[in-house]
Structure 1
Amino acid sequence: MSWDNYFAEDAGGAEAEARGKPRTVTVGWTVKWDVKAKSIWAPPKTFSRSDSKAASAKSIQACPAAIDFDRRHFVVPCPVDLELAFTKNAQGQLQLTDGKGEQSGMRPQGRANLLQLQPPNEWRHPERPILQFTAPYVFVADQPCYVVQTEPYLHWFPTPRPGVAMGGRFPIHIWPRPMAWAFEWYDITKPLKLTRGEPWFYVSFETENPSARVRLVEQEMTEELDGYLNSIIDVSNYVNKTYGLFDEAKRMRPEKLLKPKG
Structure 2
Amino acid sequence: MLRNLFSKGPRTAETEPSLAGSEPAESRAYTVGWLLKTEDASIIWDTPKPVRTESQSSDPRSVGQCPSVLDFDRRHFVINCPIDVHLRLNLTPGGMDITNVLADKSPIRADALQRWIVFQPRHEWRHPQRPVLQMLTSYVFVSDDPVYINQYPPILHYTPDRPGIQIDGRFPIDIWPRALMWAFEWHDTAKDLILRRGEPLFYVRFEGPDPAAPVRLIAAKKTPELESHMASITGVSEIVGQTYSLFKNARERRPAKLLFPKE
Q: TM-score, normalised by structure 1?
A: 0.87
- 1:47-86 matches, cutoff 5 A: 47-55=51-59, 57-86=60-89
Instruction: Show the counterpart of 2:187.
Output: 186
Instruction: Show the counterpart of 2:37.
Output: 32
CA–CA distance in structure 1, aligned partners of residues 62 and 120 of structure 2 = 45
Instruction: Show the counterpart of 2:206.
Output: 205
CA–CA distance in structure 1, aligned partners of residues 88 and 35 of structure 2 = 31
1:179 positional shift: 0.6
Select the structure of larger CA radius of gyration. 2
Instruction: Show the counterpart of 1:144.
Output: 146
**Quick one: which amino acid aligns to residue 213 of structure 1?**
P
CA–CA distance in structure 1, aligned partners of residues 248 and 221 of structure 2 = 25
Q: Name segments (4+ residues, structure 1) moved above 3 Å.
A: none
**Quick one: which amino acid aligns to residue 82 of structure 1?**
V
**Quick one: which amino acid aligns to residue 37 of structure 2?**
K
1:62 positional shift: 2.2
Contact 1:13 1:209 in 2 (8 A): no
For structure 1, the 5+ residue unaligned runs are 1-10
CA–CA distance in structure 1, aligned partners of residues 94 and 209 of structure 2 = 52
CA–CA distance in structure 2, aligned partners of residues 132 and 29 of structure 1 = 21
CA–CA distance in structure 2, aligned partners of residues 253 and 113 of structure 1 = 31
Instruction: Show the counterpart of 2:239.
Output: 238
CA–CA distance in structure 2, aligned partners of residues 93 and 225 of structure 1 = 41
CA–CA distance in structure 1, aligned partners of residues 130 and 68 of structure 2 = 36
CA–CA distance in structure 2, aligned partners of residues 24 and 156 of structure 1 = 30
Aligned pair 1:99/2:101, yes or no? yes
Contact 1:12 1:211 in 2 (8 A): no
1:103 positional shift: 1.4
Contact 2:161 2:192 in 1 (8 A): no
**Quick one: which amino acid aligns to residue 29 of structure 1?**
W
1:87 positional shift: 3.3
Distance 1:233 1:54, change over 3 A: same
**Quick one: which amino acid aligns to residue 214 of structure 1?**
V
Instruction: Show the counterpart of 1:23.
Output: 28
Greater helix proportion: 1
1:92 positional shift: 5.9
CA–CA distance in structure 2, aligned partners of residues 202 and 174 of structure 1 = 21
CA–CA distance in structure 2, aligned partners of residues 85 and 59 of structure 1 = 41
Distance 1:41 1:186, change over 3 A: same
1:177 positional shift: 1.2
- Describe the superposition over 1:25-65 as per-residue Cα deviations: whole angstroms up to 9, x where unpaired: 1100011136x31211111111102211323x321122111
Aligned length: 242
1:248 match: secondary structure: helix
CA–CA distance in structure 1, aligned partners of residues 212 and 229 of structure 2 = 30
- 1:111-260 matches, cutoff 5 A: 111-157=113-159, 159-260=160-261
Contact 2:161 2:194 in 1 (8 A): no
Contact 1:82 1:105 in 2 (8 A): no
CA–CA distance in structure 2, aligned partners of residues 180 and 135 of structure 1 = 6
CA–CA distance in structure 2, aligned partners of residues 84 and 242 of structure 1 = 32
1:136 match: secondary structure: strand
- Describe the superposition over 1:177-215 as per-residue Cα deviations: whole angstroms up to 9, x where unpaired: 111000000011111111000000000010111111100
